[in-house]
Amino acid sequence: MEPTASHNDRTLGRHLPVQKMLQEDAKPTTKRSRNRTVSLDVHSQYRTSMRSRGSTRSPKGTGPSDARISEILSPIPRRHLLQTSESPTWLQVGSHSEADFQARCISPASVTSSVGSVYPYSSSVRKRLASSVFQQLDLTTGGSQTGSSGSTRRDQEDSRHDPGAGRRWVRWMHKQGMKAWVVPLGIATSAWVKWCIGLGDYSGYNTPPIFGDYEAQRHWMELTIHLSPQQWYTYDLQYWGLDYPPLTAYISWLCGKVGSLIDPSWFAFEESRGIETYNSKLFMRSTVVALDMLVYVPALYAFTRIWHRSRSSRTQHASLLILLFQPALLLIDFGHFQYNSVMLGLTLLAVDSFAAGLDLVGAVYFVLSLGFKQMALYYAPAIGSYLLGKCIFLGPIEGTRLFVRLAVVTLSSFIVLFAPFLPPLAPISTFLAAISRIFPFARGIFEDKVANFWCLTNVTLIKWKPLFLGKEGRLIKASAALTIAGFLPAVFGLLWGAYKTRLRSHSRESEARAVSFGTTARTPSPTLPLLLYALLTTSMSFFLFSFQVHEKTILLPLLPLTLLLSGATAGDEVYSWGVLGNVVGVFSMWPLLKRDGLGVQYIATLLLWCRLVGYNPFRLRFDSFVGLLSTAVNIAMLLLHVLELVVTPPNRYPDLFPVLNVLISTPVFGFIWLWSIKRGIEVGWALGGLPGSGTDRGFKDHKDHDDRIPTEVLSGRGPVKSVRREHGARAVSLGHASGLTLAGTSGYRDPRRRAVDRFRGSSVGIDE
């Protein structure tokens, strides 16, 4: 057995394969017919277990061929779902660095990745990949010199970025052997915080005669249990007439029935208006907590289990804590008093279902979300584009079949929801009255001082309402045009990604072969990593540009932003934008929370959440654009709060501070919207390539390469190591084999793993 090489020798040996590849790229020689995975960490004592490049001898053989560059066959380590790409340098996902102590370190990216046979890289691209490899090797080498690289890296990361009290608590619980208690304790603690927030005032507290949102929700319970469904959307519209979709009415009816059994006076018809007894308030607060625990909390738990299934249990638990204590939703639902968690929970269940390959179930969940609150339409372009892209990806036969099923399920769900308002159970006028209440275009372009485009320009550039007085139709059209333009990049990205990765089929038999190999309707679309960014883009576009927006609507873009944040590490770009968006989102609702008397809850929940995620709003950051923006915005928010305490606005400008709030918040939301588009382009480029990119040419060059691969090899019937080098494909290692078995089951398969799947016959492949 050879003696162990020194540290310098090992480091030099680990760099030689990459250097040789770069030298070969610089030579004007013929193009290599295939790429291989080069070992970047080869020790001399392991040479007997590896096959030498260009050698036909047995792996156990010895001789001069052993001196050549060696290679191993190994699976591509996968990060979690939101960060699956071949080049972390392109996407700038920082959690691929050594700083991520919540999961095992990722292996260095190979310059000659096995995916190169399907997605061939140009010389310049390989050089960029090589640069990232050298950076990774330098980090690994530097860490190994200490003898305790993992602990050293963790200590260095803790000194630069605070992982947060939530992650530290999760780590401590795991080390103490109390891993099973993390989720129950986290959920119980969040429920206790929600109760504490509910001890304060609420919307419309002790402000007759119209009161506020609390009285609106209570009145709808009173209304639904005493009147027939045909009267729900027409009775006494001047006093909190019902203006939410039918599922809200049905849940109000259920809560009203339960409350009437306890105390009928709480919902006495027209006699209970404005009731604010202790027991009635206790019951109303209980309904919010109960529905939150039944819908929203399970959806969050499912998200961490499905979308972060490749991450460690520590990361999953820390992500759950970040989501459970999101301050904006806590303050609005459990302080101001609403049921937004039901709508958001149903939408999140739909997203979880899509990630599990249950598209029909996800469609039903999203219809229920739309049936609870019409604001869920903010997500409709992204979800509709994802499902349509899934149909494109599956091909003409399977895609058409899925499209028909989705159409039937969606239409049937809407019919069931609106059945009491449709003929023959009710005249068509009842349905039209409900629609006019659900979409109140006559109310105006915005309410109060909302941090969106219309309010910002209204107070700085032009007065929209006087300009379009009597021409509201034109204003609605202008709003719709801007909104569509705002979310069009996300829609295009989802559809283009599905088109680029679609299966090429010309017969039912060929699609049947694809189904038998693992690409079925139960397989999530390759564009799934784009979905959360698309949800953020579309919802933020609606918030900034759409008609009839109020300050609580910011909850919709904050949901996908926080979902993205939950899987990020402190210091990442996603982390920085996520915490900034959440902090500014809560700040933008400060005028509303101030009117409700929720100042203490506002400060407490915001500081608690910042402590959990490890974000210090008082720290100066100058290392990046988002860091500079965070510093400037945090200083501006702090100064505005101080001014409100010591300065009384003049009578001429009673809304001075709300307007200043808009001027601070709106640019941040605009930057987040632009950043989501940028990230969508980057992730889409990594997954399927941009129009006219080198990836497109790679598809064209290799579309006929599949006829050289034995069918028994690609179908998985042969041995794992049976893919021959002369066919130009990487061996189907255990990593790829495990990826193939995920098809048809719940979960997500890496698009890179499906690259090998598509080498299975001339009738099934990837189009140009």
pLDDT digits (tens, 9 = 90+) for 648-688: 888 888 889 999 999 999 999 999 999 999 999 988 887 76
The larger pLDDT score, comparing residue 82 to residue 548, is at 548
Percent of all residues in the chain with a pLDDT value above 90, rounded to a whole number: 49
Q: Out of 2-11, 215-224, 264-273, 343-352, which region has the weakest mean confidence (pLDDT)? A: 2-11
The mean pLDDT value for 207-235 works out to 92
Confidence of residue 629 (pLDDT cuts 50, 70, 90): very high
> Per the domain annotation, does 637 fall within a domain?
yes
| Same-domain check for residues 589 and 668 | yes
Q: Could you give the CA distance from residue 478 to residue 546 in angstroms, rounded to a whole number? A: 9
* pLDDT reading at 107 higher than 70: no
> What is residue 103's three-state secondary structure?
coil
Query: So what's the pLDDT on residue 609?
Result: 95
Query: So what's the pLDDT on residue 206?
Result: 87
Q: Could you give the CA distance from residue 500 to residue 511 in angstroms, rounded to a whole number? A: 17
Q: Give the highest mean pLDDT range of 32-36, 375-379, 645-649.
A: 375-379
Q: Out of 200-209, 384-393, 721-730, which region has the weakest mean confidence (pLDDT)? A: 721-730
| Same-domain check for residues 664 and 725 | no
Helix H, strand E, coil C: the string for 5-21 is: CCHHHHHHHHHHHHHHH
Q: Which residues contact 282 (CB under 8 A, 6 or more apart)?
A: none
> Per the domain annotation, does 492 fall within a domain?
yes
- CA distances 339 to 150, 227, 297, 342, 396, Å, are 45, 22, 13, 6, 41
Q: Which residues contact 138 (CB under 8 A, 6 or more apart)?
A: none
| Same-domain check for residues 591 and 635 | yes
Domain enclosing residue 32, as ranges: 7-102+109-141
Q: DSSP for 660-673, please give it.
A: HHHHHHHHHHHHHH
| Same-domain check for residues 539 and 456 | yes
> Per the domain annotation, does 261 fall within a domain?
no
Q: Could you give the CA distance from residue 561 to residue 673 in angstroms, rounded to a whole number? A: 10
Burial degree of 204 (CB within 10 A; 0-12, 13-18, 19+): buried
The mean pLDDT value for 214-242 works out to 93
Confidence of residue 456 (pLDDT cuts 50, 70, 90): confident
Positive or negative torsion for Cα 619, 624, 626, 632: positive
The mean pLDDT value for 590-610 works out to 94
Confidence of residue 463 (pLDDT cuts 50, 70, 90): confident
Q: Which residues contact 701 (CB under 8 A, 6 or more apart)?
A: 120
| Same-domain check for residues 314 and 437 | yes
* pLDDT reading at 604 higher than 90: yes
| Same-domain check for residues 488 and 612 | yes
- Cis before residue 617, ω within 30 degrees of 0? no
CB 320 within 8 A of CB 304: yes
| Same-domain check for residues 677 and 718 | no
The larger pLDDT score, comparing residue 224 to residue 124, is at 224
Residue pLDDT, tens place only, 363-381 = 999 999 999 999 999 999 9
Q: Out of 18-32, 175-189, 290-304, 695-709, which region has the weakest mean confidence (pLDDT)? A: 695-709
Confidence of residue 525 (pLDDT cuts 50, 70, 90): confident
Q: Which of 382, 742, 385, 427 is nearest to 556 (CA)?
A: 382
The larger pLDDT score, comparing residue 148 to residue 277, is at 277
Query: So what's the pLDDT on residue 444?
Result: 55
Q: What is the mean pLDDT of the chain?
A: 75
Confidence of residue 639 (pLDDT cuts 50, 70, 90): very high
Confidence of residue 524 (pLDDT cuts 50, 70, 90): confident
Query: So what's the pLDDT on residue 409?
Result: 96
The angle subtended at Cα 433 by Cα 432 and Cα 434, nearest 5°, is 90
> Per the domain annotation, does 430 fall within a domain?
yes
* pLDDT reading at 453 higher than 80: yes
* pLDDT reading at 19 higher than 80: no
| Same-domain check for residues 451 and 326 | yes
The mean pLDDT value for 147-157 works out to 47
> Per the domain annotation, does 642 fall within a domain?
yes
> Per the domain annotation, does 157 fall within a domain?
no
Query: So what's the pLDDT on residue 414?
Result: 96
Confidence of residue 504 (pLDDT cuts 50, 70, 90): low
pTM over 0.75: no
Query: So what's the pLDDT on residue 445?
Result: 55
Query: So what's the pLDDT on residue 319?
Result: 95
Confidence of residue 115 (pLDDT cuts 50, 70, 90): very low
- Cis before residue 524, ω within 30 degrees of 0? no
* pLDDT reading at 541 higher than 90: yes
> Per the domain annotation, does 233 fall within a domain?
no
* pLDDT reading at 15 higher than 50: no
Q: Which residue has the tokens 């605009």?
A: 670
| Same-domain check for residues 15 and 76 | yes
* pLDDT reading at 433 higher than 70: yes
Query: So what's the pLDDT on residue 233?
Result: 92
Q: Out of 139-153, 306-320, 440-454, which region has the weakest mean confidence (pLDDT)? A: 139-153
| Same-domain check for residues 741 and 665 | no
The larger pLDDT score, comparing residue 500 to residue 60, is at 500
Query: So what's the pLDDT on residue 689?
Result: 57
* pLDDT reading at 81 higher than 60: no
| Same-domain check for residues 637 and 530 | yes
The mean pLDDT value for 162-166 works out to 86
Q: Which residues contact 209 (CB under 8 A, 6 or more apart)?
A: 274
Residue pLDDT, tens place only, 712-767 = 433 444 443 333 333 333 333 333 333 333 333 344 444 444 544 544 443 333 33
* pLDDT reading at 625 higher than 70: yes
Confidence of residue 490 (pLDDT cuts 50, 70, 90): very high
Q: Which residues contact 750 (CB under 8 A, 6 or more apart)?
A: 76, 78, 84, 739
* pLDDT reading at 564 higher than 60: yes
Q: Which of 679, 686, 730 is nearest to 709 (CA)?
A: 730
> Per the domain annotation, does 536 fall within a domain?
yes
Count of domains observed in the chain: 3
The mean pLDDT value for 547-567 works out to 92
* pLDDT reading at 547 higher than 80: no
The mean pLDDT value for 192-220 works out to 92
Angle at which helix 555-566 crosses helix 297-306, to 10 degrees, equals 40
Query: So what's the pLDDT on residue 439?
Result: 83
* pLDDT reading at 561 higher than 80: yes
Q: Which residue has the tokens 């979902």?
A: 563
* pLDDT reading at 698 higher than 60: no
The mean pLDDT value for 692-721 works out to 42
Burial degree of 653 (CB within 10 A; 0-12, 13-18, 19+): exposed
The larger pLDDT score, comparing residue 146 to residue 390, is at 390
The mean pLDDT value for 29-37 works out to 42
| Same-domain check for residues 611 and 752 | no
